[in-house]
Amino acid sequence: MYIEQLYTGCISEAAYYIESDGEAAIVDPLRDIEDYLNLANERNTRIKYIFETHFHADFVSGHLDLAAATGAKIIYGPDTVTKLPVYIAKDGEHFALGKISIEVLHTPGHTLESSCFLLKDENGKGHAVFTGDTLFVGDVGRPDLAQKTNETTMEDLAGMLYESLQKKIMPLADEVIMYPAHGAGSSCGKNLGPETYSTIGEQKKTNYALQQQSKSDFIKAVTEGLTAPPQYFPINAMINKEGYESLDAVLNKGMTALSVAAFKEKAAAEGTIILDTRVSSSFTQGFVPGSISIGLDGRFAEWAGSLLPFDKPFILVTDAGKERETIVRLARVGYDKIDGYLEGGFEAWQKAGEPVDMIIDVEADELAMDIPFDENLLVVDVRKPAEYADGHVKDAMNIPLMEMTDPGSMADLDDRHNIYVHCAGGYRSVIAASLIKRQGIHNLRNVLGGYGKIKELSDKIKIEKEAGVLN
């Protein structure tokens, strides 16, 4: 028996390769399936099954492409509703894999079809459980992401989750290894722990959702404090349920090299989005006017899915050699309308003598020097409301980056302000600055190092906390 976790940090997603006696299964594969195929080839095994714990909302699964490449059967749990060619298993059904077996544990709550998969060793003893979004390290899946196909409420799903945990997870032996679908940073739960796996025994001790409590208390605990999910979640869940274009087809179109002239022609078409994926420090020094910056060096796919439309075509500006990676990472969250990339990158645009825009970077101490003397100075803090509440520059305007999908969020900004934009460390603020620029507002500066550097100057920059936030 062999198990390997394949973890993708930028979207906090864990897929799994399970093998026994020449047969393999993949749990919750990403859309780009090469790693699974390569692993099976290296180990001289045949992929027999693809187990899906539920219809994922935060990424597009690779189930269809992987099944087409291997002939493997796609397995979902009970109450799955789809027209895709999948096998819908019964609760308690076993699937033989070499000398081991995998049992389906139907665990509705995160979604109606949510299921865990219990791996049993050669002696029929529970060895590991793949919990999907039912149970995380330190948390559980949020009950507000299910596709709204009936009258089931968030509270109803939370109640189902309570029953699933009590009846299917708690009876498992303490030594059973727990492998979830996500780690810290995922929006599929409220506060996932930093580890990417645990044991059932450890979670019984430390996970708030597995402590002794009434059903009503559990429902309250898992439903309170939920923030709005990213805009792409329902779109990705629908794609996984209804199907999608193959990744090869997306790559064939997206990997079209565009000359400067061809790039300009596409950029001029109504609705086309220019996406620049270079690191923020390169972007601020110069970019194609109208570009949106989302750097590959951060949580790229998550922010793309949260901020960019799905019904508009994209053209790309990337670092050399990063074109394919950009397309794959966009495709992971459902973007297929990628019409090519600027051949030669931004340098080719510059050499052609085309117009260039830029964003002024400033250190936090420059902000400190300007605040007392500039009555038109406006600090725009693009962190989450909770981050802002925990400490912010006095009189700063909080426009969370997630809300900038609505141009109305920037309605109070204009060029009479001397705008200083910051986030926590610098990644989000450059994205925000590029979005503000697209609204025709150009009198802005990006504060390098963000709030992390600003709070080091609390003797020069007045910091406030919201009422009720402890020091």
Domains and CATH numbers, the chain: 2-236 (3.60.15.10), 245-351 (3.40.250.10), 360-464 (3.40.250.10)
Alpha-helical runs (H) found in 207-310: 215-223, 232-242, 247-254, 260-268, 280-285, 300-307
Alpha carbon of 373 to those of 26, 317, 360, 412, 464: distances in Å?
61, 39, 19, 22, 20
341, two tokens:
């990339």
**Three-state SS for 206?**
helix
Distance from C-alpha of 317 to C-alpha of 322, rounded to nearest angstrom: 9
The conformation of residue 293, written as its DSSP 8-state character, comes to E
For residue 433, give every residue at least 6 positions away whose Cβ sits within 8 Å of its Cβ, in sequence order, or none: 284, 293, 359, 421, 444, 446
Distance from C-alpha of 166 to C-alpha of 146, rounded to nearest angstrom: 21
371, two tokens:
């605040």
Distance from C-alpha of 28 to C-alpha of 94, rounded to nearest angstrom: 18
359, 445 Cβ separation under 8 angstroms: yes
Query: According to the model, what pLDDT value does residue 471 have?
Result: 45
Report CA 29 to chain centroid distance, whole Å: 15
380, two tokens:
């725009």
Query: According to the model, what pLDDT value does residue 147 have?
Result: 58
103, two tokens:
């049992």
132, 61 Cβ separation under 8 angstroms: no
Diameter over CA atoms, the chain: 76
Distance from C-alpha of 108 to C-alpha of 86, rounded to nearest angstrom: 19
116, 132 Cβ separation under 8 angstroms: yes
Distance from C-alpha of 255 to C-alpha of 460, rounded to nearest angstrom: 49
Q: Which residues of 375-413 are buried (b: 16+ CB within 10 A; e: fewer)?
A: eebbbbbbbbeebbbebbbeebbbbbbbbbeeeebbeeb
295, two tokens:
């750097």
Q: Where are the beta strands (DSSP E) in 373-417?
A: 377-381, 392-393, 397-398
Place of tokens 């009970």: 78
Distance from C-alpha of 121 to C-alpha of 359, rounded to nearest angstrom: 58
pLDDT, tens digit (0-9, with 9 covering 90-100), for 240-283: 999 999 999 999 999 999 999 999 999 999 999 999 999 999 99
Phi-psi region of 128 (alpha: psi -120 to 50; beta: other; left: phi over 0): beta
Number of H helices, E strands in the chain: 16, 26
Query: According to the model, what pLDDT value does residue 467 have?
Result: 72
Alpha carbon of 166 to those of 158, 159, 178, 277: distances in Å?
12, 11, 16, 45
Residue numbers in the chain where pLDDT is lower than 70 = 147-150, 468-471
